Amino acid sequence: MSRNSAGPIVDHTGIGSGAELSTWATLRRGAVLSPELTRGIWVTIALALLSTLGRVLVPLVIQRTTDEGLLAPAGPDLGRVWMWVGIALVGVVVTAFSAYAVNIRLFTSSENGLAALRIRAFRHIHDLSMLTQNTERRGSLVSRVTSDVDTISAFVQFGGLMLVISIGQITLATLLMVWFSPLLAAVVWACFVPLFFLIRHFQGVVGRAYTRVRERVGQLLGAIAEAVVGASTIRAYAVQERTAARIDAAIEAHRAAAVGAQVRAVVAFTAGQFVSGLTTAIVLVVGTWMAVNGRLTLGELLAFLFLVNLFTMPVQQATEILNELQNAVAGWRRVIGIIDTPADIADPGEAGVDLPRGPITVDVDRVTFAYPGGEPVLRDISLHIPPRARIAVVGETGSGKSTLAKLLSRLVDPDLGRIQLDGVDLRRVRFDTLRSRVVLVPQEGFLFDASLLDNLRFGRPEAGEELILDTLAELGLDDWARSLPLGLATPVGQRGESLSAGERQLVALVRAYLANPDLLILDEATSAVDPATEVRVQRAIDGLTRGRTSVAIAHRLSTAEAADEVVVVDRGRIVERGPHHILVQQGGVYAGLHASWSAQHGH
């Protein structure tokens, strides 16, 4: 049901790319999302134009100074020179101050606006369902709140300002050139129009070349990482030379791409320089001819050369900036795409229901579920779980048992049928209650690069050390915490790498215990741990499930044995259910699983 509410931005559960937004629509939407950007923008633009005016007028005043003062017919007119120099100095100061004000205003407004946009996009990514999040790589999600936003800010702060100034300067210079000599102005424009298209063409070429460089950097990093992360394997198999050859190939590919991009960029850049120089030559030739014919004074011709300089710089800049604009818009589109992707598993909010605390009853009512574009993994499942019951769900890999855990904790919604907690449809339960009453312990309990204590209390940051120690004692884990080098203060490393897999599971279990849910959904980890930790894990699970309704997606025989009831899932359907000792005797699917388990544990 919720999928149908997906707006035009998304297809199915995917994340919007914003690709269908035009440049203009992107800029407008961007301005709406970050009102800080446009607040006071007219003052900023006015100041920018003022500084542009200064930039054009000051050289012109200098020109006047030379023409009227220095080159006055009766020899240098010192009074005039100093007057003009004084006026120019005032112009310089005004230009500098308005440029200063523009810089400060732009940085402040853009950084405020984009920080808010970044945070909003970040929050929204967490609101998206697992399915939606999983349509994109984590790194790609990260880039939407980092580098994509950075390209916007770089553009707003450097390019955007330059664009305003450049366009102003081009307009002013053109007006002045026309005023001096419409013919020469036409000559200049005639030289630059082809350059404009040429530069745009080159920018495409250069842009693609730099994209290639970025790809090569990625491959280079990958190759280098192999030498670092695969150090043991490389030594054990004595494949240093093979690895070195792979790395060298990546290094050379990167070097070649970088040099290639550099050469292309140089060609593009010098094309502009060349045309500028050529324009000067043509203007001088045509101007001389005009001066000879009395249509221009020598002073005017030299003044015009100044204007040509004023014109060529911003034209080259503006064309380059237009390319940056495309980059920024692309980044902006991606950020907008995220923000405009509707959260398909949404909090019902005010309209929702709060569940009172206490033992919970679960009813799964004819639920069918398929992952996007796939066959149903669960078909027409019904299951009644009474309060405080301990249920173990078992089945082969791919039977659909992990999906059941996701459905019960509302990480996904059923395609057909419904799930009820205490008689209320899960989709109507407000997230506040849902997340406090129903807690999922995933297979891989992610650990943050912080102390053990901070990781344990991730779900309840206000919990003090005392409470954590008590909790550990209740779960029989106090000796474990004490055995770590710095106790609770032990840093766990990136993703908890300093702890063993089993210890990471313990952290996940303590977190769940502190959250104190009424319904516990436990997706057991498959990875093997040493027997001592295994026992700790089992005891912690016992402590955690005591007195609660619990559903364990079981990979261990002991969990199934300890459950009140075992539910056997096979190819998306519930095929058997009942207590362990009865199912074992029935000789069905469960009996087979049990036999293979027992064989491994030396029963």
In the range 461-500, which residues lie near another protein by CB under 8 A? 461, 495, 500
Piece in contact with another protein (CB under 8 A), picked from 164-172, 177-185, 330-338, 520-528: 520-528
Would you say 551 and 532 are in contact if contact means Cβ atoms under 8 Å apart? no
Q: Does 528 bind another protein (CB under 8 A)?
A: yes
Using CA of residue 443, residue 449, residue 454, residue 458, what is the dihedral sign? negative
Site pattern 48..67 for another protein (x: CB under 8 A) = ---x------xx--x--xx-
- CA separation, residue 94 to residues 48, 85, 121, 310 (Å): 11, 14, 40, 19
Q: How near is the Cβ of 68 to another protein at its closest, in Å?
A: 11
Pick 302 or 469: Cβ nearer another protein: 302
Q: How near is the Cβ of 431 to another protein at its closest, in Å?
A: 7
Query: 138-145 and 298-339 are packed helices; what angle lies between their axes, rounded to 10 degrees?
Result: 130
**How far apart, in whole angstroms, are the C-alpha atoms of residue 208 and residue 214?**
10
Element (H, E) at 465: helix 465-474
Pick 23 or 498: Cβ nearer another protein: 498
**How far apart, in whole angstroms, are the C-alpha atoms of residue 563 and residue 422?**
21
Pick 205 or 278: Cβ nearer another protein: 278
Applying the rule CB under 8 A, the residues between 573 and 602 that interact with another protein are 596-597, 599-602
Q: 8, 24, 42, 294: which one contacts another protein (CB under 8 A)?
A: 294
Pick 23 or 38: Cβ nearer another protein: 38
Using CA of residue 281, residue 284, residue 285, residue 287, what is the dihedral sign? positive
- Name the phi and psi angles at 418, rounded to 5: -150, 165
Q: 25, 491, 558, 570: which one contacts another protein (CB under 8 A)?
A: 558
Q: How many CB atoms lie within 10 A of CB 32?
A: 11
Applying the rule CB under 8 A, the residues between 79 and 138 that interact with another protein are 81-82, 85, 88-89, 92-93, 95-97, 99-100, 102-104, 106-108, 111-112, 114-115, 118-119, 122-123, 125-127, 130, 133, 138
Would you say 534 and 502 are in contact if contact means Cβ atoms under 8 Å apart? yes
Applying the rule CB under 8 A, the residues between 237 and 266 that interact with another protein are 237-240, 242-244, 246-248, 251-252, 254-255, 258-259, 262-263, 265-266
Query: Tokens 């060609």 label which residue?
Result: 267
Pick 20 or 530: Cβ nearer another protein: 530
**How far apart, in whole angstroms, are the C-alpha atoms of residue 422 and residue 40?**
54
Applying the rule CB under 8 A, the residues between 155 and 194 that interact with another protein are 157
Query: 138-145 and 147-154 are packed helices; what angle lies between their axes, rounded to 10 degrees?
Result: 30
Q: How near is the Cβ of 48 to another protein at its closest, in Å?
A: 12
Q: Strands of 573-578's sheet, edge to edge? A: 438-441, 519-523, 549-553, 390-394, 565-570, 573-578
Q: How near is the Cβ of 92 to another protein at its closest, in Å?
A: 5
Lookup: tokens for 264: 């292309």
Q: Does 3 bind another protein (CB under 8 A)?
A: no
Applying the rule CB under 8 A, the residues between 374 and 393 that interact with another protein are 386-389
Pick 29 or 144: Cβ nearer another protein: 144
Q: How near is the Cβ of 476 to another protein at its closest, in Å?
A: 11
Q: Does 198 bind another protein (CB under 8 A)?
A: no
Picking from 476, 521, 522, 483, the residue whose alpha carbon sits closest to that of residue 500 is 483
Q: Does 511 bind another protein (CB under 8 A)?
A: yes
Using CA of residue 491, residue 497, residue 502, residue 504, what is the dihedral sign? positive
Pick 107 or 189: Cβ nearer another protein: 107
Q: 226, 454, 474, 570: which one contacts another protein (CB under 8 A)?
A: 226
Q: How many Cα atoms occupy the beta-carbon half-sphere of 230 within 13 Å?
A: 16
Q: Does 37 bind another protein (CB under 8 A)?
A: no
Q: How many CB atoms lie within 10 A of CB 415?
A: 14
Q: How near is the Cβ of 38 to another protein at its closest, in Å?
A: 18
Piece in contact with another protein (CB under 8 A), picked from 165-173, 267-275, 417-425, 467-475: 267-275
**How far apart, in whole angstroms, are the C-alpha atoms of residue 602 and residue 592?**
16
Q: How near is the Cβ of 469 to another protein at its closest, in Å?
A: 20
Piece in contact with another protein (CB under 8 A), picked from 15-23, 296-304, 323-331, 370-378: 296-304
Would you say 90 and 133 are in contact if contact means Cβ atoms under 8 Å apart? no
Piece in contact with another protein (CB under 8 A), picked from 144-152, 163-171, 197-205, 420-428: 144-152
Here the contacts of 371-377 (C-beta below 8 Å, separation 24 or greater) are 371/131, 372/12, 372/13, 372/131, 373/12, 376/415, 376/572, 377/403, 377/572
Size of the residue set binding another protein (CB under 8 A): 169
Picking from 471, 410, 445, the residue whose alpha carbon sits closest to that of residue 524 is 445
Q: 439, 456, 509, 568: which one contacts another protein (CB under 8 A)?
A: 439
Would you say 14 and 338 are in contact if contact means Cβ atoms under 8 Å apart? no
Applying the rule CB under 8 A, the residues between 400 and 429 that interact with another protein are 409, 411
Piece in contact with another protein (CB under 8 A), picked from 41-49, 319-327, 328-336, 557-565: 557-565
Q: 232, 349, 375, 423: which one contacts another protein (CB under 8 A)?
A: 232
Q: 14, 230, 376, 543: which one contacts another protein (CB under 8 A)?
A: 230
Q: Does 29 bind another protein (CB under 8 A)?
A: no
- The answer for residues whose C-beta is within 8 angstroms of residue 52's C-beta and 6 or more apart is 164, 165, 168, 169, 172
Q: 12, 43, 179, 289: which one contacts another protein (CB under 8 A)?
A: 289
**How far apart, in whole angstroms, are the C-alpha atoms of residue 211 and residue 260?**
12
